[in-house]
Structure 1
């Protein structure tokens, strides 16, 4: 009796197959049909591992205490090598970087992730790291970065979120990374501060609350900070993420 099963890793697929067959590991041989692949950005085009489990007639003494799945003699040498290469990667992905004895530079991992992501978008970029007291700026340079920045920085913000996840998986303490490209952050801050002044004057002139469009938290903070000392208006936020908005009201 044979059964073909898929899983995130070879080991996951084997465990699911054993559960479906209702037997222990020493009762089967394992033939690896396909190795898993992460795909672009870790999920686009990702493929699961596929294994074939063959039920043995009787357990043999040699296999009763085996800790790893016994690979069938019919499994190709290439597949066997692929398993050997994939299993350490699977263990690393499922374990905490803090417990690893090999220290990986989180900023190097973040830089590599950004370059690979940009390459997937057809962009060749360089990344420069600048450390500050409470955060690190990863400045991206290269041609045609408009696609990487996106409308009002939405693509850059999404990439920043993912980059922080990647970096903190390899750090023993929390680190904060801010991505910038073509001085977009400074230009966006100037735009928001000018907008805050203009809408504050509008709130004073007409005596009505002015509700801004939904913004990410870092942009809302810029509006609040700009008008914090304003003599005639106050600000507050309302709504739930991702539709939380700043409101400017006359005092």
Structure 2
């Protein structure tokens, strides 16, 4: 609403007081820095702890995997482009198995077992299954344990830890995630994986694991993930949600999905941006 001084009726004290207040508020707003408005986020004042998805959200798995696959491929006379979409396709194949386990259609198996099972059909589909030895496949499988933190991971988690308890909440194995966190020097307070309850996200048991072990109510936990399916399941379990899209998760040329969702409470460009938006 635009308020002009001429609109103020001096004979009406109530109207005069209201409009003078509006004018003062308008002038005050004009002096506020723009970033104060841009940084506005939903009310997350009750958050006590953050739980983090790891593969793709905190760690880059694409680059290490592509480099390793290309090196193996050269030894076997394969062109470098055979590996371009391997990490994403492999991750998708493993996720399909995980969804089946979470839905109770398949028995539990370890994370390593999931990725091992997903690999052979993937290689056969690319026509290279008979050109890679079992040792080659083991080398590829081992690369999932050599993911590297995104550049913003260390500074972002360090800043967030000043204000919040920070914990992993991932489908990886306990041994793999412990090794990755240690190798990356990431300052997590707790390491939690679905292996502790023999379940995979999006099974509600994994999100309840965070409630039980981190020690806060679900609404006091903020799940941080680059994957909407993870956040949707988190919200159903009562957690708050932070979306950190990673456009390079599956390599160059990918577009980040930034469409709004009712189950997402806050969106951040990266973990440093998230720390800023949460005031830490």
TM band (smaller chain): under 0.3
Q: TM-score, normalised by structure 2?
A: 0.23
Which protein shows a greater Rg? 1
* Higher RCO, 1 vs 2 (CA within 8 Å, ≥6 residues apart): 2
Q: Which structure has more helix as a fraction of its residues?
A: 2
Richer in strand (by share): 1
